[in-house]
A and B are shown apart, each in its own frame.
Chain A
Amino acid sequence: MKERILKILENNGNLTVKQLAVLLDVSEDTVRDEISRMKKEGVILGFNTVIDWEKTERQLVNALIEVKVHPKKERGFDEVAERISSLEQVTGCYLMSGGFDLTVMVEGKDFKEIAMFVAEKLAVIDGVLSTSTHFVLKKYKDGGVHFVNKVQDDREAIVL
């Protein structure tokens, strides 16, 4: 049941308990209980809205930063990663295999703001050895949602 609920919520986070109950053919209480349990267990961490800011007045620039880190004794990469994650501009932070250690996703209003962020907030963190910043030029898909070339419904209005 958990998995069935999650599979739907993953792509349709805005459905009501009642709608979920009908979809899954179970009682509303079952859905409500399962969801609150999963929230408590930390399985469901939050509900986001996928927004294409390009279509609004707000200016927004995203960047992916490769970060090399000097791991701390005992706590390894966690301490630095948590400090980076706590920064407001950071939207994602991942420990990576390969040639560098952390991928940090950031957003800011323009290139300059992100450059300042890297210079003043990120690079100065104790344990950060080097950074390499890559700006996002165009979003094709984010959070599982297509931003461009979304398949249009090209069906005829009525088909008997």
Chain B
Amino acid sequence: MIKLNISSVPASGIRKYFDLVNEMEDVISLGIGEPDFVTPSTVMQAAHTAMNRGHTHYSSNMGFLSLREEISEYMQSRYQLSYSPKDEILVTVGASEAIDLAMRCLLGPGDEVIIPEPSFVAYKGCATFTGASVVSVDLDADHKFKLSAEKLEKAITDKTRVIIFPFPNNPTGSIMRKEEMAEIVEVVKDKDLIIISDEIYSELTYNGDHVSIASFDSIKDKTLVINGFSKAYAMTGWRLGYACGNKELILAMNKIHQYAIMCAPSLAQYAAMEALKNGADDVRYMVEKYNQRRRVLVNGFNEIGLDCFEPEGAFYAFPSIKNTGMTSDEFCEKLLKEQHVLVVPGSAFGECGEGYVRATYASSIDNIIEALERIDRFLKNRTNNKVKR
């Protein structure tokens, strides 16, 4: 009954962890890929006000023009990118919808999409739904999980239509610097393909400001920048994102969007306008907190013997657990059962994530410290047992 390219996508492998967690009381979860902060109060107030004034109707398909104007201004001032609010910006239901729309517009059976891994799971899923073939490019810790021009070039074929460019990266926390992107640009600038640059974590970088790959003029027209409000403004539940790109692609995406979704939720759009107008201080506050916790978590992993490279973006650490002799899935399941700490197996983000786990520092300092102590105990219990045997 179900189409093959849907049914062939396996159900999520993390289901069992939910079942385990439900039986426990004192679990510390570092498995949650969303901010622990609550949406800034000024943003919530804006939504209240809009509601009380009766602004409860549809917006235009592409999103309120006033919001698109704010986004346009933000992209210009923050990342030096120029997009017309009229037809180069589409407001979507989360960045996730933008990813899905773009793939549906660009991919079909016989096409190839290049996805660097480990990566957010939706790229592969959405690509497969279109019938396209996924070409994974394995990134590794030795190169700080960065995408090299060399690896990318090898993966490109005549059939390549789309390259996913997911930085700052979930789950590794890796980022790409401007000079590293310049090499990527050289490889793709004369090719007939589209780069989908998922920059949802752009505000969360810790050693300098985020640079968008679209800021290279030679490829701006073939780059679709996807961003949103979830991570930067702690607005995950509001489901609001956007895509910026060339008119032809944006209008095609809007075609699907208007039939499938109609428009993104109006109240969330009012909230987002306030976030862009007056949310910068809140973002700065949260980023400083994440940065402190980042140091505690990464330092902690290295101290208890789990090798962890320095993540410079998003809110994840991606330590290696290879020296424990366990697979990432075993590690996570046993850690949860024995010490009630939840981290996510790296293998959930692609085969090359095997041997790593993802732990988020979007959690309180107390939780992070307690989790590290428990993981330390977990590791010590195992070495002690080995010695006894």
Contacts and interface: CB of A to CB of B under 8 A. Distances in A.
Contact of A23 (B18, B33, B365): B365
B44 interface: no
A160 B34 contact: no
B31 interface: yes
What bracket does the count of chain B residues touching chain A fall in? 20 to 34
Interface in B1-55: 12, 14, 17-18, 21, 27, 29, 31-34, 36, 38
Chain B CB within 10 A, most for which of A153, A158, A159: A158
Contacts of B17: 157-158
A22 B299 contact: yes
A158 B345 CA distance: 11
Given A160-B120, A160-B121, A160-B344, A155 B292 contact: no
Nearest to B29: A157
B296 interface: yes
Contacts of B295: 22-23, 25
Contacts of A8: 292
Given A12-B365, A23-B365, A156 B32 contact: yes
Contacts of A151: 38
Interface in B321-345: 342, 344
Contacts of A153: 36
A25 B29 CA distance: 25
A157 B365 contact: no
A25 B31 CA distance: 25
B365 A15 contact: yes
A24 interface: yes
A19 interface: yes
A157 B344 contact: no
Contact of A158 (B29, B38, B170, B293): B29
A158 B292 contact: no
Contact of B14 (A12, A155, A158): A158
Given A151-B38, A157-B21, A160-B120, A24 B31 contact: no
A158 B32 contact: yes
B14 A160 contact: yes
Contacts of B27: 157
Contacts of A22: 295-296, 299-300
A155 B365 contact: no
Given A12-B365, A151-B38, A159 B31 contact: yes
A108 B18 CA distance: 46
Contacts of A160: 12, 14, 33, 120-121, 170-171, 344, 348-349
A59 B300 CA distance: 41
A160 B120 CA distance: 7
A92 to B, nearest CB: 26
12 contacts: A12-B365, A12-B366, A19-B369, A25-B295, A151-B38, A157-B18, A157-B21, A157-B31, A158-B32, A159-B34, A160-B14, A160-B121
In the A-B complex, the 6 residue pairs with the smallest Cβ-Cβ separation, listed nearest first, are A158-B31, A159-B33, A157-B21, A23-B292, A22-B299, A159-B32
Given A12-B365, A12-B366, 17 more contacts: A22-B299, A23-B292, A23-B293, A23-B365, A151-B38, A153-B36, A155-B32, A155-B34, A157-B18, A157-B31, A158-B31, A158-B344, A159-B32, A159-B33, A160-B12, A160-B14, A160-B344
